[in-house]
């Protein structure tokens, strides 16, 4: 207790000074004073206050959504801020929340006038509570995890976002004891010994504790402003001066990095998508919804724990010299055990245009002894070598130019139908999406862009040199976004293609970056609409023929984001409909479902999706070691059965047990995420898309004669 007596012996003047500055120095549990000293609170600056006022004005008068800063918005901003700081309710006490509630009525005036004392007070309190919790956790670890009891009937609540706030420190101690017991049990079930577990947990919590003792005023301001700006939509955000400098790299680590789009989610750095052709894509193991918790450098065995780090600082660790290596410690998406991580080594490099380029191949489908040649063109992204174009290179690379050449080659080889594969294509150059439509459609509109003032700009292509006027299937999935959605939507609206796959990402908004006196504001100022008048926002493009996907819209997709703008409609544009598929679609779907139900890979996919949903829908896990192991064994056996059946389809030896699978898991994971065209041939979705095209082309169904030559005469049915 000597430390406590020392603390009480401080002078009255020092105590009053501490209270006035809202330092909130209450001793951590067990009366220990951290050798780092005491937390020094952060304070707002005049520049930040001015930026707050400018942001509020920009949101009210420049955002696509007409919304005012009023009492309701200010109240929601406070709730969003608390949620952003402590979503799982592991730090704040009920008394803290009651204190903050007294300021709810002051938030509207504070936002309009740039008063930052309340949000900074909340931020400093959160830092203080974080120190208390981390030191409590470290004290439990120091006392020895062998004292933890795993013989009872208690359960651990996986999601505490709707739980009651802890009534006092003692109640929060119980929550954290269960939090630690769950982590320890996870690691024991992963066959880690107690010494390794203790070392890992201690390293993680000490790393986070060190971060808390390095507060920045800008962190508090950025947290508050982003809780406020995202009430308009999730893509509107304040960028600090440092974030502004690294904006392009933060959004896509394509320059001397790994080629991944990252975002902060709670205390984690989450992978949103992989840049096609980038180092991560080539390496093959990192995937969407993976969470990066550690970063290590080449030649250094030490892995830096980055839980709780700022996104720009994680980016700085991942970036590095070309051809150097970076190691990432990752919690895989859908992991049954969050303490079970994998290490991925990636060689840093620039994204090569050649690796992003469209590629093609030909498939043959036979019906009643009659062969149909189906061309497949895979487009990883919408690209254009603008530097070469500006330099006057007449043969510069672009999506549209490359696809035209591929179509010509496929036509020379006798192509009867075409599949355009846009799965995992996150977008790119809007101009290329528009131009690509013109390869299949004569002059006409491709997309509408509506501004905040209600004005509508129409993008259209006047090219009449159609490259392909035969039947088309466009393949999409939940990672097909932005420009991919514009192309797929236009092809669907024109009746030039059947869209097949799963519902697309749904990002249908356009942002601009506006300078402030301090940092920048990325603000949504317009919205995409299809020529039919439907927006692509939130809903994306709904396929004509649905194929289930492992990609969970609850994890990846616009609609999964808080305060995402809603789907809506405006007036459609006059446009030609080349073919009304409604008369044949029911028949096509019936044949597809009947055929797909017999495909072993499809049945395995359904079982895999069911397993993922069972994991995702869990609300509690047992803290009894025997019950927990039984739960884990059951999930592992289900997954292993799926893996082995898939291996048998590939003429590979099944794994004897889960351990054998785990030892080869990285190779399996990499293989699953690599190009869909492998040595074993096309995946079953591409094969089925070629079957659907064969359905369209079959002469006895009359589908072969529905497309017309450009001079207006009907194309002859193939003999």
| Distance in angstroms between the alpha carbons of the first and the last residue of the chain | 95
The CA distance from 397 to 416, in Å, is: 26
Q: Judge whether 599 lies within some domain.
A: no
SS3 362: strand
Whether residues 517 and 662 share a domain: the answer is no
Claim to verify: residue 549 and residue 446 sit in the same structural domain: yes
How high is the pLDDT of residue 666?
A: 55
Is 70 exceeded by the pLDDT of residue 667? Answer: no
Res 191: pLDDT: 86
46 and 170 in a single domain? The answer is yes
604 located within any domain? no
pLDDT of residue 451: 94
pLDDT at 324 over 60: yes
Which of 343, 487, 481, 330 has its CA nearest to residue 403?
487
Strand partners, 347: 325
pLDDT confidence tier of residue 352, bands split at 50, 70 and 90: low
Q: Percentage of the chain surpassing pLDDT 70?
A: 86
By CB neighbour count within 10 A (0-12 exposed, 13-18 middle, 19+ buried), where does 712 fall? Answer: exposed
Together in a domain, 392 and 435: yes
pLDDT at 16 over 80: no
Q: What predicted TM-score, i.e. pTM, was given to this entire model?
A: 0.85
Amino acid 73: pLDDT: 97
Check whether residue 423 and residue 543 sit in a common domain: yes
**Mean pLDDT value across residues 426-441:** 92
Sign of dihedral through CA atoms 27, 29, 33, 37?
A: negative
Q: Are residues 85 and 120 in the same domain?
A: yes
Same domain, 16 and 119: yes
The CA distances from residue 247 to 82, 377, 385, 398, 520, in Å, are: 26, 32, 21, 25, 10
Task: Give the residue from 170, 205, 229 where a domain finishes.
Answer: 229
Helix or strand holding residue 330 (H, E): strand 325-331
Q: Is 641 found in the same domain as 536? A: no
Whether residues 561 and 627 fall in one domain:
no
User: Is residue 656's pLDDT more than 60?
Assistant: yes
Lowest mean pLDDT across 265-279, 421-435, 550-564, 670-684 = 670-684
Task: Tell whether 626 is covered by a domain.
Answer: yes
Instruction: Please indicate, yes or no, whether residues 548 and 468 belong to a single structural domain of this protein.
Output: yes
pLDDT bucket at 46, cuts 50 / 70 / 90: very high
| CATH number, residue 489 | 3.90.226.10
Residue of 349, 402, 416, 493 with catalytic role: 493
- How confident is the model over 469-498, as a mean pLDDT? 95
Within-domain flag for 476: yes
Looking at residue 247, which CATH number applies to its domain?
Answer: 2.30.42.10
Torsion of Cα atoms, 137 then 139 then 140 then 142, to 10°: 120
Q: Does residue 680 form part of some domain?
A: no
Q: How many domains does the chain have?
A: 4
- Tell me which of 240, 480, 482, 549 is the catalytic residue: 482
DSSP 8-state class, residue 678: B
Residue 709 has pLDDT above 70, yes or no: no
Give the single-character DSSP code of 644: H
- Marked catalytic residue, from 270, 507, 522, 527: 507
Residue 260 · residue 121 · CB < 8 Å: no
Is 588 among the domain residues?
A: no
Query: Do residue 388 and residue 503 come from a single domain?
Result: yes
Mark whether 95 and 207 lie in a shared domain.
yes
With 90 as the cut, is the pLDDT of residue 302 above it? no
Query: Within a domain: residue 600?
Result: no
Give the tokens for residue 95. Answer: 């008394």
Q: Which domain holds residue 417?
A: 357-577
Q: d(Cα 132, Cα 142) in Å, to the nearest integer?
A: 15
Which pLDDT tens digit goes with each residue over 490-506?
999 999 999 999 999 99
The tens digit of pLDDT for each residue in 630-639 reads 998 999 999 9
Residue at 253 is within a domain: yes
Question: Is 507 one of the annotated active-site residues of the chain?
Answer: yes
Burial class of residue 548, CB neighbours in 10 A (0-12, 13-18, 19+): middle
How confident is the model over 516-555, as pLDDT tens digits?
A: 999 999 999 999 999 999 999 999 999 999 999 888 777 7
Q: Which residue has better confidence, 4 or 602? A: 602
**Which tokens go with 453?**
């003032």
Q: Look at residue 491 in the predicted model and tell me its pLDDT.
A: 97
Query: How would you class 314 by CB atoms within 10 Å of its CB: exposed for 0-12, middle for 13-18, buried for 19 or more?
Result: buried
Average confidence (pLDDT) over 198-220: 91
- Which among 97, 99, 184 is positioned nearest to 137, based on CA atoms? 184
Block residue for tokens 């591409």: 686
State the average pLDDT for the chain: 85
Which pLDDT belongs to residue 37?
Answer: 63
pLDDT at 374: 95
Among candidates 252, 332, 232, 323, which has minimal Cα distance to 292?
A: 332
Q: For residues 563 and 231, is the Cβ–Cβ distance under 8 A?
A: yes
The residue from 329, 347, 365 where one domain ends is 347
Looking at 551, 577, 603, which one is the last position of a domain? 577
């Amino acid at each position: 207790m000597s430390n406590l007596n020392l603390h009480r012996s401080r002078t009255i003047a020092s105590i009053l000074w501490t209270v006035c500055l809202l330092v909130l120095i209450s001793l951590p549990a067990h009366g220990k004073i951290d050798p780092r000293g005491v937390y020094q609170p952060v304070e707002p600056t005049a520049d930040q206050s001015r930026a707050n006022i400018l942001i509020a004005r920009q949101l009210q008068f420049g955002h696509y959504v007409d919304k005012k800063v009023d009492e309701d918005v200010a109240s929601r901003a406070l709730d969003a801020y608390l949620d952003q700081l402590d979503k799982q309710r592991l730090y704040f006490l009920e008394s803290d929340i009651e204190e903050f509630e007294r300021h709810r009525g002051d938030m509207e005036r504070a936002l309009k006038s740039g008063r930052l004392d309340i949000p900074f007070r909340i931020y400093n309190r959160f830092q203080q509570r974080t120190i208390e919790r981390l030191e409590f956790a470290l004290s439990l670890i120091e006392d020895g995890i062998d004292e933890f009891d795993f013989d009872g009937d208690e359960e651990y609540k996986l999601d505490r976002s709707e739980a009651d706030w802890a009534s006092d420190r003692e109640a929060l101690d119980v929550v954290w004891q269960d939090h630690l017991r769950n982590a320890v049990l996870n690691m024991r079930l992963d066959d880690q010994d107690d010494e390794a577990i203790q070392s890992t947990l201690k390293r993680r919590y000490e790393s986070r504790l060190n971060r808390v003792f390095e507060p920045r005023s800008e962190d508090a301001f950025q947290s508050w402003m982003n809780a406020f700006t995202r009430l308009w939509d999730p893509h509107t955000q304040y960028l600090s001066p440092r974030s502004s400098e690294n904006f392009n790299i933060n959004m896509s680590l394509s320059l001397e990095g790994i080629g991944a789009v990252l975002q902060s989610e709670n205390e984690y750095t989450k992978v949103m998508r992989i840049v096609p052709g980038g180092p991560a894509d080539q390496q093959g193991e990192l995937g969407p919804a993976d969470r990066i918790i550690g970063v290590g450098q080449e030649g250094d065995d030490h892995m830096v724990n980055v839980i709780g780090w700022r996104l720009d600082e994680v980016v700085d660790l991942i970036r590095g010299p070309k051809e150097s290596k970076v190691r990432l410690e990752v919690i895989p998406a859908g992991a049954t055990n969050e303490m079970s991580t994998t290490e991925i080594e990636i060689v840093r490099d620039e994204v090569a245009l050649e690796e992003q380029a469209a590629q093609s191949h030909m498939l043959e489908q036979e019906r009643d002894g009659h062969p149909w040649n189906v061309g497949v063109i895979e487009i990883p992204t919408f690209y254009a070598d603008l530097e070469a174009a500006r330099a006057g290179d007449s043969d510069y690379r672009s999506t549209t130019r490359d696809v035209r050449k591929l179509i010509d080659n496929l036509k020379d080889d006798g192509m009867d139908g075409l599949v355009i594969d846009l799965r995992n294509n996150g977008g790119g150059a809007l101009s290329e999406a528009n131009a690509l439509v013109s390869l299949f459609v004569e002059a006409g509109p491709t997309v509408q862009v509506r501004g905040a003032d209600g004005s509508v700009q129409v993008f259209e292509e006047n090219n009449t040199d159609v490259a392909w006027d035969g039947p088309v299937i466009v393949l999409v999935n939940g990672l097909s976004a932005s420009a991919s959605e514009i192309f797929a939507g236009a092809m669907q609206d024109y009746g030039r293609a059947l869209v097949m796959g799963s519902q697309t990402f749904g990002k249908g908004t356009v942002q601009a970056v506006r300078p402030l006196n301090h940092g920048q504001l990325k603000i949504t100022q317009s919205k995409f609409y299809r020529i039919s008048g439907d927006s692509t926002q939130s809903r994306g493009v709904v396929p004509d023929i649905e194929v289930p996907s492992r990609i969970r819209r609850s994890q990846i997709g616009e609609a999964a984001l808080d305060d995402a703008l809603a789907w809506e409609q405006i007036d459609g544009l006059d446009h030609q409909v080349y073919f009304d598929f409604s008369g044949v679609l029911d028949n096509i779907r019936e044949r597809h479902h009947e055929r797909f139900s017999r495909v072993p890979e499809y049945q395995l996919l359904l079982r895999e999706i069911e397993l993922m949903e069972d994991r995702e829908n869990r609300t509690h896990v047992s803290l009894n070691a025997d019950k927990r192991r039984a739960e884990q064994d059951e999930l592992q056996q289900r997954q292993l059965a799926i893996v082995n059946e898939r291996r048998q389809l590939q003429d590979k030896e099944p794994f004897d047990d889960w351990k054998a699978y785990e030892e080869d898991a990285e190779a399996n994971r990499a293989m699953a995420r690599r190009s869909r065209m492998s040595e074993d041939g096309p995946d079953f979705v591409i094969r089925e898309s070629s079957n659907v095209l064969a359905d369209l082309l079959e002469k006895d169904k009359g589908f072969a004669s529905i497309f017309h030559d450009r001079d207006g005469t009907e194309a002859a049915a193939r003999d």
